[in-house]
Amino acid sequence: MNPILLLAIAAGALVGAPSRYLLDGAVNRRTDSELPWGTFLINVTGSLLLGLLAGLVLAHHLGSVTNALVGTGFCGAYTTFSTFTYETLRLIEEGELRQAALNVTASVVIGLAAASVGVAVGLAA
């Protein structure tokens, strides 16, 4: 692998992981809900950002370093499928089946919509 790409991925992850941790904590301190709003917000904003990057790459042919830095590095460390899965299973184990179904449905539908908006904006830019 290209060492520059590897450094770009590491730099993006260095910012993405703490951003996820800090945002999740801030959101969860402000909500009193069974739903994992922090993870939801992180995954939706990450989908929007990754969609925007994809649109910009397609429209403006951004380089592989930018794609590695923002897409693989930042978004890869910022968004979290494993936490989403864990929190959904926790809701199921606690008998919160409606909340679990809402979490899955809203995360997938709104995440896809956010990514689509991001792609459209990136293509239009």
Q: What is the pLDDT of residue 13?
A: 98
pTM of the predicted model over 0.85? yes
Indicate the SS3 state at residue 24: helix
DSSP 7-65: HHHHHHHHHHHHHHHHHHHHHHHH--SSS-HHHHHHHHHHHHHHHHHHHHHHHH---HH
CA distance 28 to 45: 16
Q: What is the pLDDT of residue 62?
A: 87
Q: What is the pLDDT of residue 1?
A: 80
Q: How far is CA 119 from the centre of its chain?
A: 15
The pair of three-digit structure tokens given for residue 52, joined into one six-digit string:
């925007």
Q: How does pLDDT run along the chain (125 residues), one tens digit per residue?
A: 899 999 999 999 999 999 999 999 999 999 999 899 999 999 999 999 999 999 999 999 889 999 999 999 999 999 999 999 999 999 999 999 999 999 999 999 999 999 999 999 999 98
